[in-house]
Amino acid sequence: MDETQRNKDLARQFIDAMGGDFAQAVRDIMAEDCRVVTQGTTAISGVRGKPESLAATALVREFFPKGLPTTIHAMIAEGDRVAAQAESFATHVSGKPYNNKYIFWMRFRDGKMIEFVEYLDTQLVAEIFG
């Protein structure tokens, strides 16, 4: 398997895990020095590392007890870079539906994710958690 296909497979595993054991995916797929960026200007926006990302998985599970199933609509890759267009369909613990759309941009090195950038509707996140 070539590097590009391996990285696409890892990206797919990572995104698929959002609907299941996301903490395990963060542990297994992210490199220790992974840089995680959530674009935007709300409270969830910013730059984090693997430890903060792992801690955030517990909050995701708390707010979305049935997980955050995320469907990949399109994926492209070249070398160490993978981009995916995706959409989540979940129910917040309050009973409110949560449907967000994403562009995930990922970079890999030696079979580990070293960068994860997500573009999403951060205002929707603010409203659902507000």
As a whole number of angstroms, the distance between CA 126 and CA 111 comes to 34
Token pair recorded at residue 6: 């391996």
Q: Give the right CATH number for 3-129 from 1.10.287.130, 3.40.605.10, 3.10.129.10, 3.10.450.50.
A: 3.10.450.50
- 72 contacts 85 by C-beta, under 8 angstroms: yes
Cβ neighbours around 66 below 10 Å, total: 10
Residue-range domain boundaries for the chain: 3-129
**Cα–Cα separations (whole angstroms), residue 107 to 50, 70, 101, 111, 119:** 14, 19, 20, 10, 15
- pLDDT for 130: 64
pTM: 0.93
3-state secondary structure of 87: strand
With a cut of 50, which residues of the chain have pLDDT below it? none
pLDDT at position 122:
84
